[in-house]
Amino acid sequence: MAKTTSIHLIDDEPVIHEVLGQLLTSEGYEVEISSSGEEALGKLGEQSFDLTLLDLLMPGLDGLAVLQRIREKDPQATVIIITAYASVESALAAMKMGAYDYIQKPFKHEELLLTLQRAVEHSRLKEENLRLKDELRGKFSFSNIIGKSKVMESVFDLIRAAAPTRSTILIQGESGTGKELVARSIHQNSDRSQFSFITVNSGSLPPDLLESHLFGHVKGAFTGAVSHKMGLFEAADRGTIFFDEISTLNLETQAKLLRVMQEKEFMRLGGTKTIKVDVRIIAATNTDLEEMIKKKSFREDLFYRLNVIKIELPPLRQRKEDIPLLVKHFLDLYGQENAKEVEGLTEEVWAIMGGYHWPGNIRELENLIERAVVFTKTKVVDPSSLPPFLLTPRISEGPDLPAAAKTLPLKDQIQSFQRQVITETLRKTKGVQKQAAKMLGLKPTTLNEMIKRLKVDTQNYS
């Protein structure tokens, strides 16, 4: 059950108490009334409120003084000023002090309720942002790797255990899951952190050039070798070499890499001098190496040398509970880069993201959030800031819209899609809304509100 929003009404007029008290209570708000600034401040020490409606003109402590005391006690407090036409300048001064908005007497009920609705959403976003920032600073991050899901906690445990050792590590995961980030975290938390971390993109170079790149060469080793050149293994001595997509190494280079790992020495191309090195190898792949072994395209002995400690990174679709943390991180990052303050996403955007398959994993999510920050014209990202493919029903492994729905306006198509995503997720969780909310990256109360608003059938899922 959703928490009832509490409102502190501070006004000296009994008629305002009666009218607003009845209106707000009938709308489902919990109302506490104070007749003076002094009475209101006395209650602040005993109670906390989600919103405050504060009259500016009161005998004794006026509204500005009360606002200042409220903000001192709780800088995040959401306060709406009630003012007469003649006091608009004072209301603007109150907003400079941190009030959320103001309404003028006499006000229409619809105007007041709409302002309150916006304030509730604003307050919810602020609370969510503060919670996510705490999580990002706390136990849900490890050397810039973000996650709170059980599968990521297991990854953190492996990193903590593996980092201080000298063991070779194999990281497996789909493209975009953060394999290099994990490799860097292992290096940074090892006793090699003061020395080089070198990434080898083995698939981007032809075999001959790659070997020269790795082991170096002597003058005259091949056409164009006009001088001696140090290779990456020498440059990484006492540090770490990270082989990104090691499956792209040809068999000859695999054999030479195996020898370096076994003997901890090598010779430059064209050279006769043995060079000894102490380098830790971390390898990553998005390919099934054991399947490659069966096809004779990857050496079995090298595989066993690499596979001392294995870390498997889950795709984003299997850790959707981490999406809010990742979104917050990328909103902050690209908000700073673009000098824009973006507080969060609308419910519609959360639902769309929760129902998406994320074939590009974290890299795709990062790119999407960067784009949204650039294009959004408000502090909250809405569907208009998303790429067009996310607003169509043809989403990987997602439900399709009936033909009739595709002729509807965009807003109705989005709602139809949301309804189908929620329905499909409820079917997967056999109607358990708490589990469905977790899969969709939503708060249970938010999902419940969307079910009611979209009129989703919650029966017959057992």
Quickly list DSSP for 15-81: HHHHHHHHHHHHTT-EEEEESSHHHHHHHHTT---SEEEEES--SSS-HHHHHHHHHHH-TT--EEE
What pLDDT is stored for residue 442 in this prediction? Answer: 77
Distance CA 2, CA 12 (A): 31
Distance CA 203, CA 210 (A): 9
Distance CA 332, CA 431 (A): 35
Show me where the domains of the chain are located: 6-137, 146-314, 318-454
Q: Which fold has domain 318-454?
A: Helicase, Ruva Protein; domain 3 (1.10.8)
Q: Which residue has 């990202």 as its token pair?
A: 381
Distance CA 367, CA 381 (A): 14
Does domain 146-314 bear CATH number 3.60.20.10? no
Closest to 245 (Cα-Cα) out of 307, 189, 323, 174: 174
Bridge partners of residue 8, in order along the sequence: 32, 52
Q: Which fold has domain 6-137?
A: Rossmann fold (3.40.50)
Please name the amino acid found at residue 228. H
What pLDDT is stored for residue 404 in this prediction? Answer: 47
Tens of pLDDT, residue by residue, the chain (462 residues): 456 789 999 999 999 999 999 999 999 899 999 999 999 998 887 788 889 999 988 888 888 999 999 988 888 889 999 887 656 788 888 888 888 888 888 888 888 999 998 888 888 777 766 666 555 544 444 657 888 889 999 999 999 999 999 999 999 999 999 999 999 999 988 999 888 899 998 776 777 788 888 988 888 877 777 777 888 998 899 999 999 989 999 999 999 999 999 999 998 888 888 999 999 999 999 999 999 999 999 999 999 999 999 999 999 999 988 999 999 999 999 999 999 989 889 988 988 888 888 989 999 999 999 999 999 999 999 998 998 888 764 433 444 445 444 455 666 667 777 888 888 888 777 788 887 887 777 778 888 888 888 888 777 665
What pLDDT is stored for residue 397 in this prediction? Answer: 44
Total-model pTM = 0.59
Beta strands in 231-321 (DSSP E): 240-244, 265-267, 274-276, 280-285, 309-312
Given this chain, do its domains 6-137 and 146-314 carry the same CATH topology?
yes
SS percent in the chain: helix, strand, coil, step 5? 50, 15, 35
What pLDDT is stored for residue 140 in this prediction? Answer: 46
